Amino acid sequence: MSGLLTFGETMGVVSAEGIGALDHARGFTFGIGGAESNVAIGAARLGAPVTWLGRVGDDASGDLIARRLRAEGVAAVVIRDPSFTGLMVKHRRTGALLTVDYHRAGSAGSRLAPSDVPADAVRAAAIVHVTGITPALSDSARAAVFQAVETARAAGVTVSVDVNYRAKLWSRFDAAPVLRDLVARADIVFAGPAEAALFVDGPPLDGLAALGPAEVVVKDGARGCTALIDGERHAVAAPDVAVVDPVGAGDAFVAGYLADRLAGAQPAARLATAIAAGAWAVTVPGDCEGLPTRADLAALASATDDVLR
């Protein structure tokens, strides 16, 4: 293989319809979600060759994950595990506050191990992408991430890291040294300002770059992004869009950047695609359902009306 290789936990996602406390919800939708699989689907929709690897339970949620990834054109290496597929529950407590709860302790995805990630697949990839979520799941999952990263580095394969700190999975004190070590091994790093502040001092771009990555991208939501890529600084504003569901926007951003990098685009073009992909994703409910295609991004860029005819 060549292209993008990523791995981690993908979960079933239960989303309450409407706004208000969960106990008053009367309708729900069920989908899939997970940072790494969101990136995989997003990059595949933009034309990149992508492989995702992970453990899922031998249950209906695991079946759905396998089908959905393969239907999206992702080469999914699905390892069946006797434990259950993890679950995410989302509800919009108010119009401005989305709450996400996890049910993943002891899940199939948390049982990922170094032996699950073949060294040959890592060496054959153009980019290996990992997140700071997987090391929080278990000791074996953390070992899998660091082993894959070291294998990639030894083979000259580009390592991409999205910090993706999740306070519900581990404390900032436990996370900080692990995330710092992971970023120090990366060629490309993505982080939000608050995430960077967990383990670097001063301006996030400079602090992250000082750890070693040649490509540092700070995602800042509706404020757009800043980047320091091979010594050159960039700043890109985000377009003004109506936010329906912010979950998955950061993954869409990463997918856009990595897909363009694989296609040989220059840094400014990569960042423009990333910003557009993130903006598109927030306008649609779901973790991965609204990830855009190239045609979607072109429509966003050229739209002068709210109806396409």
What pLDDT does 303 receive?
Answer: 60
Instruction: Write b or e for each residue in 15-31: b if 16 or more Cβ atoms lie within 10 A of its Cβ, otherwise e.
Output: bbeeeeeeeebeeeeeb
Q: Is 251 a catalytic residue?
A: yes
10-residue stretch averages of pLDDT, the chain, 309 residues long: 91 89 86 95 97 98 97 97 95 80 94 98 98 98 98 98 96 98 98 96 96 97 93 91 73 96 97 92 75 86 53
pLDDT digits 0-9 by tens, 150-199: 999 999 999 999 999 999 999 999 999 999 999 999 999 999 999 999 99
Token readout for 272 is 């423009």
Strand partners for 52: 6, 76
How many Cβ atoms are within 10 Å of 121's Cβ, its own excluded? Answer: 18
From the list 162, 251, 287, 296, the catalytic residue is: 251
pLDDT digits 0-9 by tens, 248-288: 689 999 999 999 999 999 999 999 999 999 988 877 766 67
| For the chain, domain boundaries | 4-298
Residue with tokens 């540092």: 216
CB 108 within 8 A of CB 60: no
**pTM score over 0.85:** yes
Q: What DSSP letter does each residue of 67-129 carry, written as one string?
A: HHHHHTT-EEEEEEESSPPPEEEEEEEETTEEEEEEE-TT-TGGG--GGGS-HHHHHH-SEEE
What pLDDT does 246 receive?
Answer: 67
CATH code for the domain defined by 4-298:
3.40.1190.20
